[in-house]
Amino acid sequence: MGGYLRTTLLLAGMTALFVGLGAAIGGQQGMLIAFVVACGMNIFAWWNSDRVVLGMHNAQPIGPQDAPRLYQMTADLAARAGIPMPALYVIHEDQPNAFATGRSPEKGAVALNTGLLDLMPEREVAGVIAHELAHIRNRDTLIMTITATLAGAIGMLAQFGFLFGGRGQDGRSNPFGPIGMILLVVLAPIAAMIVQMAVSRSREYEADKAAAGITGDPLALAGALRRLEAYKQGRVNEAAEANPASAHLFIINPLAGLRMDGLFSTHPSTGNRVAALEQMAGRMGPPVAPRPAAARPQPGPWSGRGRRNPWG
């Protein structure tokens, strides 16, 4: 119920900001148009966000025949998390990273970069997958996707305000005056961005905490975060750079040059997240022993690159 409540409140707040900006730019008619567009965008984001973001990053679906150990690990962790097995995808990208998407636990998907699978030991991969499953269980994927959609829409509407000067349907200038209009079209996108970033940062901390509960091993995720932060340096994620609105979905910031835990950062400081997990590990005690893996078939290639699958 908490996930539904957060989604409702967030949609209401972002939609109100969008509608208010539309009213300031175009009066009653602008408000009505903005409301209809906002509703349409919310519905589109609800139904299509997973396909859109997976397509953006050229994610390829994999099944138990492609990576049996990875698939079984994900299934085991999903069972511990109390959610259905998500669809599993691989992204042929050297930067180690991962994200989850999907409008509900029944429609969840986890995408892992090949850079992560190549560089990270199995225990840490389990921590990353548990983090993404926590996002799915908490419905954070829906919340963060819709905030990104509406933040972009508010920015687009603000640009229209600059172009059309904020005149209502009767041709009169809006009541804020030219200075007020300029401030409005500048501040509204900033307000939307602050909401988006604040939600993203808070959900990362919560997903870290939930992942530690799923695996019983907070230090596995702490080690994974350290490794992700270290090995992303010098590896440019081309798809993320081309689609920065999706950056908040990843477990660590995939964009180059954003290292501070500031107001406009999509992610908390990795050091802060690691410290929180280490404190949790001290309270929880020794990690829960992982379930032993059954015999697996021979590995197969990830793709046409000729890369051998380490998770066969």
> What angle in degrees, to the nearest 10, is found between the helix axes of 122-137 and 177-215?
130
Measured distance CA(146)–CA(141) in Å, rounded = 9
pLDDT per residue as tens digits for the range 128-186:
999 999 999 988 877 776 776 677 677 777 777 666 655 554 445 555 566 766 777 77
Measured distance CA(177)–CA(31) in Å, rounded = 18
pTM for the whole structure: 0.77
b/e burial code for range 199-227 (CB count within 10 A of at least 16 → b)? bbbebbeebbbbbbebbbbbbbbbbbbeb
Contacts of 28 (CB under 8 A, 6+ apart): 168, 169
Measured distance CA(73)–CA(92) in Å, rounded = 20
Per-residue pLDDT, averaged over 250-268, amounts to 71
The type of residue at 32 is L
Two tokens, residue 83: 């959610």
Phi-psi region of 155 (alpha: psi -120 to 50; beta: other; left: phi over 0): alpha
**132 catalytic, yes or no?**
yes
Better-scored residue on pLDDT, 293 or 184: 184
Outline where the chain has alpha helix (H).
2-56, 68-81, 114-119, 122-137, 140-164, 177-215, 218-232, 238-242, 270-284
> What angle in degrees, to the nearest 10, is found between the helix axes of 218-232 and 122-137?
100
Better-scored residue on pLDDT, 24 or 291: 24
Per-residue pLDDT, averaged over 190-205, amounts to 78
The pLDDT value recorded for residue 219 is: 96
- Whole-angstrom CA distances from 11 to 4, 41, 192 are 11, 11, 12
pLDDT per residue as tens digits for the range 51-86:
888 999 999 999 999 999 999 999 999 999 999 999
The catalytic residue among 93, 124, 132, 229 is: 132
